[in-house]
Amino acid sequence: MGKVLSFIRYSRVGRNLLYLYLVQGANYLFPLLTLPYLTRTLGPQGFGLLAVGQSMALYLQLLVEYGFSFSGTREVARHREDPGALARIFSGVLAAKLFLLLPAFLLALTALYLPVLRGREDVVFSAFFWAAAWGLSPLWVFQGLERMREVALLEVLTRGLATMGVFLLVRAPEQAYLPLFLNGVGALAASGLGFFWLSRHIPLRRPSLREGLLFLAMGKDLFSFRVAVSLYTAANPLILSFFASPSQVGLYAGAERLTKAVLGMVEPFNRAFFPRFSHEVGRDTRGAGRMATLVFALMVGFAMGGAFFLWFVSPWVVHILLGPGYEGAVPIMRILVLLLPLIAASSLLGLQWMLAWKMDRAFNAIIVVAGFLNLLLATALSHLGGASGLAWAVVLVEAFVTGGMVWYLHRLGRLPWEVAR
């Protein structure tokens, strides 16, 4: 225990991990407060419509964000001692994001032709507002600088404002658009504060279109990764909406939301250790391997314990947090808990380890194949088995991703425990 406390107190990574777990605690608290309220206020149909809007917002956000949370973070981590380089990176990435707002808006317009969103301009444009506000966030700069205290404060501010707005303003099923808009307001406020903080530490420059185009070209591989990931994450509620009623989409979304709340405990490890691995793999390879092996064991062990626990308590969790009418979410949730150890393993091996080694193309290849595999399986199994069929499709695809990463890294002798020898 003494060593753990010393690690947290005297190590930058330890302090960053503590800040991120404080954020994750807040990320638990705010959804746990709003989820029961929204499921009961909106009902399964309204909550299903909200889930479709959130799915669309995630697609628009990933277009604006363009994978800079990885490629931009990596560049900042490698040039953190050079203020001039940091200013160039920041202005180039910001210019690229501003440029991407136009195609994101055009995509939002095309979403109006989806059957489930026809006549719901309020949902579509609220989703675009949220995506634009969050996509322009400067959190990636703070992550690259390993200044997780600022990341923590900005994320808590975003969620806190949105949560307060939900309780004050959402009152009826037809207001399914309002949580999307309120999340956009919170993200916009947090982004503005983040830009102000950065202006005190980095000599900010006016965004340049030329530099923006250069950073778009540099980040294209990781953007491909983000798009491919979205094919087996954000796309699923949209796919299910073609084969099932909004109420069924609501059951799947509720089960997925509860499962992802536990999956969120993995995220602080990704954000705390990715900059560290990116900084260390070229300096102390064996040391980075030993650290990655330890983090892998902690993440997977923790996720397996969470999966077993969540499987047993799922009926009570659904009853308490989702409420009457969501009993059908229990079997879906018991399938989705299988994702916990799989995603913990793939997060370490892929998002942290392969990208730190700049294995971007191999990583993308695995994710792209998985994305198209998900489209096939999700479509087929949603048609055959509805929400439960979709849940099995998601688990099978994640198993493919994890297995593909283990195979590729072992073939090169680059698994963390192989490098640590």
Q: For residue 1, name the pLDDT band (cuts at 50, 70, 90).
A: very low
Q: For residue 84, name the pLDDT band (cuts at 50, 70, 90).
A: confident
Q: Which of these ranges, 16-25, 36-45, 175-184, has the smallest mean pLDDT?
A: 16-25
Q: What are the extents of the domains in the chain?
A: 8-218, 220-421
Identity of the highest mean pLDDT range in 144-148, 214-218, 221-225, 289-293: 289-293
Judged by DSSP in three states, 420 sits in coil
352-386 residue pLDDT tens: 888 888 887 888 889 888 888 988 999 999 999 98
**DSSP-derived secondary structure for 179-190:** HHHHHHHHHHHH
pTM: 0.64
Mean pLDDT, residues 318-342: 89
Provide the 8-state DSSP code for 348: I
Residue 207, exposed/middle/buried by CB under 10 A (0-12, 13-18, 19+)? middle
Q: For residue 8, name the pLDDT band (cuts at 50, 70, 90).
A: very low
Rounded to 10 degrees, what is the CA torsion of 26, 27, 28, 34? 100
Q: For residue 191, name the pLDDT band (cuts at 50, 70, 90).
A: confident
Looking at the chain, the whole-number percentage of residues with pLDDT higher than 70 is 85
Check pLDDT > 50 for residue 5: no
Check pLDDT > 80 for residue 202: no
Residue with tokens 């799915």: 55
Of 156 and 43, more confident: 43
Query: What whole-number distance in Å separates Cα of residue 260 and Cα of residue 356?
Result: 25
Query: What whole-number distance in Å separates Cα of residue 421 and Cα of residue 295?
Result: 16
Provide the 8-state DSSP code for 321: I
Whole-number pLDDT of residue 126: 93
Mean pLDDT, residues 114-133: 88
Enclosing H/E stretch for 330: helix 329-336
Closest CA to 278 of 146, 137, 149: 146
Q: For residue 198, name the pLDDT band (cuts at 50, 70, 90).
A: confident
Q: For residue 10, name the pLDDT band (cuts at 50, 70, 90).
A: very low
Whole-number pLDDT of residue 241: 81
Check pLDDT > 60 for residue 168: yes
How far, in Å, are 100, 148, 230, 283 from residue 93 at the CA level?
Answer: 11, 20, 21, 27
Q: How remote is the C-alpha of 275 from its chain's centroid?
A: 17
Whole-number pLDDT of residue 231: 64
**DSSP-derived secondary structure for 118-175:** TT-HHHHHHHHHHHHHHHT--HHHHHHTT-HHHHHHHHHHHHHHHHHHHHHH--SGGG
Provide the 8-state DSSP code for 414: -
Residues 6+ apart with CB under 8 A from 144: 72, 73, 74, 75, 76, 77, 80, 275
Residue with tokens 């996509």: 135
Q: Which of these ranges, 118-132, 178-192, 238-252, has the smallest mean pLDDT?
A: 238-252
Check pLDDT > 80 for residue 13: no
Provide the 8-state DSSP code for 406: H
Q: For residue 25, name the pLDDT band (cuts at 50, 70, 90).
A: low
Mean pLDDT, residues 185-205: 81
Of 84 and 98, more confident: 98
Mean pLDDT, residues 105-109: 91
Mean pLDDT, residues 234-242: 79
Q: Which of these ranges, 93-102, 207-216, 334-343, has the smallest mean pLDDT?
A: 207-216
249-278 residue pLDDT tens: 888 988 888 887 777 666 666 666 766 777
Average pLDDT of the chain, as a whole number: 81
| 302 conformational bin, left if phi > 0, alpha if psi -120 to 50, beta if neither | alpha
The helix, strand and coil proportions of the chain, stated in percent and rounded to the nearest 5, come to 85, 0, 15
Taking a C-beta distance cutoff of 8 angstroms, is the pair 52, 111 a contact? Answer: no
Of 365 and 70, more confident: 365
Closest CA to 51 of 35, 67, 70, 30: 35
Q: How remote is the C-alpha of 126 from its chain's centroid?
A: 19
Taking a C-beta distance cutoff of 8 angstroms, is the pair 238, 55 a contact? Answer: yes
Taking a C-beta distance cutoff of 8 angstroms, is the pair 8, 18 a contact? Answer: yes
- Compute φ and ψ for 29, nearest 5 degrees: -65, -50
Q: For residue 59, name the pLDDT band (cuts at 50, 70, 90).
A: confident
Check pLDDT > 90 for residue 338: yes
Query: What whole-number distance in Å separates Cα of residue 394 and Cα of residue 259?
Result: 13
